Amino acid sequence: MFRILIRARLRMLANTARSAPRWHKLMVVWLTLFGVMIFATIGLACAALVLLMQGAAARHGALNPAAAQLTAHVYQYLFFFLLAGSVPFVASSLFQDNDLPLLLTTPVTPSAVVAAKLVDSVIANSAQFTVLGVPVLIGIGWGIGLSASGWAWFIASLALLLIFTPAFTGSLLLVLARILGVKKVRFVVMGVSVVLALGITLLAVAGTSRATQSGALDVGRMRAALSGAATATGTPAAQWSAAQTQVQALSKGQSEAGLSWLPSSWACSVAMDTAGGRPIGPAGAHGLIALVAATVVMIAFCIVVGGRVVSSEDILEQQDLNQVGRGIRRRQGAPPLGMSPAMAGLIVKDFLYIGRDTILIGQIGTTLILFFVPFVLKWTQPGASSGEDMYGNLAMLMIALVVYMVTSIIGLSTVGLEGKGAWMVLAGPLTRRDFLVAKWIVSFVMSIALVTGMVVIAALAFRWSLSLSLIAFGIFTFACFGLSGLGVGLAGIFPRFLYDNPAHRASVWAMVLGFVLATCYVVFCALLAAGVYVAFAQHLLGPPALFALAALLFIALSITTGYTPIALAAKRLGRYEWEH
Max avg pLDDT among 76-80, 183-187, 287-291: 287-291
On whether residue 289 sits in a domain, the answer given is yes
For the ranges 17-31, 120-134, 142-156, 298-312, the lowest mean pLDDT is seen at: 17-31
Same domain, 446 and 544: yes
Q: How many residues does the chain have?
A: 580
On whether residue 167 sits in a domain, the answer given is yes
Q: In the chain, what are the helix, strand and coil shares in percent, each to the nearest 5?
A: 80, 0, 20
- Looking at this protein, which amino acid is placed at residue 70? L
- How confident is the model at residue 383, as a pLDDT? 56
- How confident is the model at residue 557, as a pLDDT? 93
On whether residue 470 sits in a domain, the answer given is yes
Tell me the DSSP string of 375-417.
HHHHHH-TT---SS-HHHHHHHHHHHHHHHHHHHHHHHHHTTT
Residue 334 pLDDT more than 70? no
Per residue in 235-249, pLDDT (tens digit) is 555 554 555 555 455
pLDDT confidence tier of residue 76, bands split at 50, 70 and 90: confident
Residue 325 pLDDT more than 70? no
- How confident is the model at residue 93, as a pLDDT? 78
Residue 72, Cβ density class (10 Å: 0-12 exposed, 13-18 middle, ≥19 buried): buried
Same domain, 394 and 362: yes
Same domain, 166 and 293: yes
| Residue 566 · residue 485 · CB < 8 Å | yes
Percent of the chain, pLDDT > 70? 72
Mean of the per-residue pLDDT values of the chain:
76
Closest CA to 577 of 487, 491, 498, 488: 498
Distance, in Å, from the CA atom of 275 to the CA atom of 62, rounded to the nearest integer, reads: 6
- How confident is the model at residue 270, as a pLDDT? 87
Same domain, 471 and 428: yes
On whether residue 510 sits in a domain, the answer given is yes
On whether residue 245 sits in a domain, the answer given is no
Same domain, 268 and 147: yes
Closest CA to 347 of 436, 428, 450, 416: 436
Same domain, 280 and 422: no
On whether residue 246 sits in a domain, the answer given is no
Same domain, 291 and 344: no
Q: Long-range contacts for 73-77 (Cβ within 8 Å, ≥24 apart)?
A: 73/257, 74/46, 74/136, 74/137, 74/140, 75/137, 75/264, 75/265, 75/267, 75/268, 75/271, 76/257, 76/259, 76/262, 76/264, 76/265, 76/268, 77/204
- How confident is the model at residue 538, as a pLDDT? 76
Q: How many CB atoms lie within 10 A of CB 450?
A: 22
Max avg pLDDT among 44-53, 294-303, 511-520: 294-303
CA distances from 113 to 5, 422, 500 (A): 8, 28, 18
**Model's pTM, two decimal places?**
0.69
| Residue 185 · residue 91 · CB < 8 Å | yes
**Residue 572 domain boundaries:** 331-580
- How confident is the model at residue 550, as a pLDDT? 87
Same domain, 286 and 390: no
Same domain, 299 and 351: no
- How confident is the model at residue 341, as a pLDDT? 80
Same domain, 425 and 523: yes
